[in-house]
Structure 1
């Protein structure tokens, strides 16, 4: 029997974006090409400051005649307010979707279980306008399937489709092992850049689309080779440090900072940290307080080639 796990992610919420101008409206704001959103495809993107620093992550998912934006529940009103500043005369409507829950499902055969191909971003409606949508995680198919479901019946619906409900911490362990960020828990608001957060490697930036907010810094960082730090999965030997705890090399040099993490059953820890690439290239463990931190490069992550002497 397939061990299919699913969690309802209470830290995520939904904005509904409808209206004839939604493509033009969102296209000039976020890092990815929203023209790629169709009834069969969803995308991952970021909203940045004009200076190119992280504000929000979001999944743009098809839903009937509009879109659902999957983002951080605690910051939905802030996201809506920021987007509305750019509405002007655009024919769009932004509302908080109080009746929806975000869920994640993963495990062997997860895509087939929800009638989806194993292709990043592949999406399908789960019925009528009230039934929700399922999408293969646009960042990485190994992450599983994200679902927007009616809040009152989400758990029962998942169990009815063969999933075993597990706590959100189980999904955290899954995403941390893959090196996938979760909004402001891992990406520092108004500080982390899109490329530091992995948005390019995770299919969240389109360098061929037109202008968007923060494009100049994002493009300059890529084409001038200015990337110095990356968000990376780390293993922890010792207590899991609080987010924001500085990382140091063996000789005390700044090596980055800890982001989200959790304690494993064997007493070790797993997390994400923003790591200076110079420190990572040197190899060896880093330190955060009394804990030893070892960063890892996941298979999907592309790092700059080390500089060579002339």
Structure 2
């Protein structure tokens, strides 16, 4: 990522959860520990089904007396509804502030030039009263600025940042092996832990119960993780959602996201999965490489 570029992530939404019971409410739902989130630290987390299957993921940032939830816009309405389903009698308020706040992405190098910045994933500081955080998933994704829309362009000018093509950011994320968009295609198709959330700092195995915790913990503790979500690179041809991937006519995975920045659920421990090989689908020849940050 170029130090002078910024990406305005118009595909992201900003929800706000606040109220007397907000910490207990989120703690009982999400895969990460809400106690980690403070004025100087943000975290990545997800909301799973009771069976531990993926539903939503998001970044949580402290804001005033509550928390911002930075999520994909295409998931925001459904996430908003799901949080309200779990609300019951909790003394909380859930707001969609996407018309007031915007999420932008800037480089890791630019973040380190800011006053008081620290080279710690999730580290959060204030710039003109708005939160800037080093991406809690992986610092190579750069930093995020959650900013009031009215202040956006003046702040970008003061930071000497130039608006760049969002596709560059998507491509960078895909090359890192982190899904940039189309998360709805993953819903209920795989376990949250198969999304590499452990390695992306998105699961806390020491916290108490949360939705989907039982299967997540079982897969982890019994070393049952045999499949992972991995990025696909198309050599030639066309992919189709849900189709099988083969290595020498032996199935080793399925395509889950077929368009733009594709991903597949791969049997990464299978003896037939060799990253140096070419893989095939019905109409495509592809390559699959496991990101360096997995199994470090």
More moved, 133-142 vs 248-257? 248-257
Alignment partner, residue 307 of structure 1 = none
Q: Give the TM-score normalised by the residue count of structure 1.
A: 0.86
2:275–2:288 Cα contact (<8 Å) kept? no
Q: List per-residue Cα deviations over 1:103-141 (Å, max 9, x = no partner).
A: 11125343324752121000123334xxx3111100111
The whole-number CA distance in structure 2 between the counterparts of 1:243 and 1:151 is 36
Tell me which residue corresponds to 1:306.
none
Partner of 1:121: 122
Cα offset, 1:216, TM superposition: 0.6
Contact map agreement 1:15 1:95 (CA 8 A) in 2: yes
CA deviations on 1:26-59 (whole Å, 9 max, x unpaired) are 0000000001100000000000011111110011
Match of 1:234 in 2: 232
CA contact (8 A) 2:108 2:134 kept: no
Q: TM-score scaled to structure 2, two decimals?
A: 0.90
Determine the structure 2 residue equivalent to 1:287: 280
1:1-310 pair list within 5 angstroms: 3-97=3-97, 98-106=99-107, 108-113=109-114, 115-128=116-129, 132-182=130-180, 184-185=182-183, 188-239=186-237, 241-259=239-257, 262=260, 271-277=262-268, 278=270, 279-281=272-274, 284-302=277-295
The Cα offsets for residues 249-285 of structure 1, whole Å up to 9 and x where unpaired, read as 22152422152654xxxxxxx6432222114258512
Deviations 1:7-44 (A, max 9, x none): 11111101001112111000000000001100000000
Report the secondary structure of 2:20's partner residue.
Answer: coil
**2 CA distance for matches of 1:26 and 1:43?**
12
Query: Aligned equivalents of 1:238 and 1:157: distance in 2?
Result: 43
Gaps of 5+ in 2: none
Q: Over aligned residues, Cα RMSD in angstroms?
A: 2.3
Contact 1:135/1:147 (<8 A) preserved: yes
CA 114–104 in structure 1, closer or farther in 2 if over 3 Å, else same? farther
- Deviations 1:184-243, CA, capped at 9 Å, x for gaps: 438610122111101000000000000000001101111122222111233321246354
Structure 1, unmatched stretches of 5+, are 263-269, 304-310
Kindly indicate whether the alpha-carbon contact (under 8 Å) linking 1:181 and 1:187 is maintained by their aligned counterparts in 2.
Answer: no
Aligned length: 292
Q: Which is further off, 275-284 or 119-128? A: 275-284
Change in Cα spacing, 1:21 to 1:160, as seen in structure 2 (3 Å) is same
- 1:155 Cα deviation from its structure 2 partner: 4.3
Distance between the aligned counterparts of 1:182 and 1:56, measured in 2?
13
